[in-house]
Amino acid sequence: MKGNFATLINADQLTLIDFSAEWCGPCKMLAPILKQVKDEMGDSLRIVKIDVDKNQNLATTYQVKGVPTIIFFKNGKQLWRKSGVLQKAELVQLAKSFL
């Protein structure tokens, strides 16, 4: 996953990484919100879900202490991050500000 991950975040396309876990209640709440964000943003935003239990090295590398943690990347740079559930409007506004 690590090589793949580097390819994803180094892309010119804005990428939202959702660090989550199967057992996480707030992560389950966030999933439909992210789908709505994707529906609104279309191809201008890529959303990738990373299971922290299956990708512990990535979680450690990006110092993910709690789930869900959302990080926006573009061209390999971390633009923004936050832990917890965010609303669709806030995520769409953020995404648009990075485009």
Find the catalytic residue in 24, 79, 86, 92. 24
DSSP states of 13-60: SEEEEEEE-TT-HHHHHHHHHHHHHHHHHGGGEEEEEEETTT-HHHHH
Show the low-confidence residues of the chain (pLDDT under 70).
1-2
For residues 71, 75, 77 and 79, what is the CA-based torsion angle, rounded to 10 degrees? -50
Biggest alpha carbon–alpha carbon distance for the chain: 33
The number of distinct structural domains making up the chain is 1
**Residue numbers of the domain that contains 77:** 2-98
pLDDT one-digit tens code per residue, 37-59:
999 999 999 999 999 999 999 99
Find the catalytic residue in 14, 16, 17, 27. 27
- Is there a catalytic annotation at residue 54? no
**Could you tell me the CATH number of the domain that includes residue 44?**
3.40.30.10
Q: Tell me the pTM.
A: 0.95
- Is there a catalytic annotation at residue 24? yes
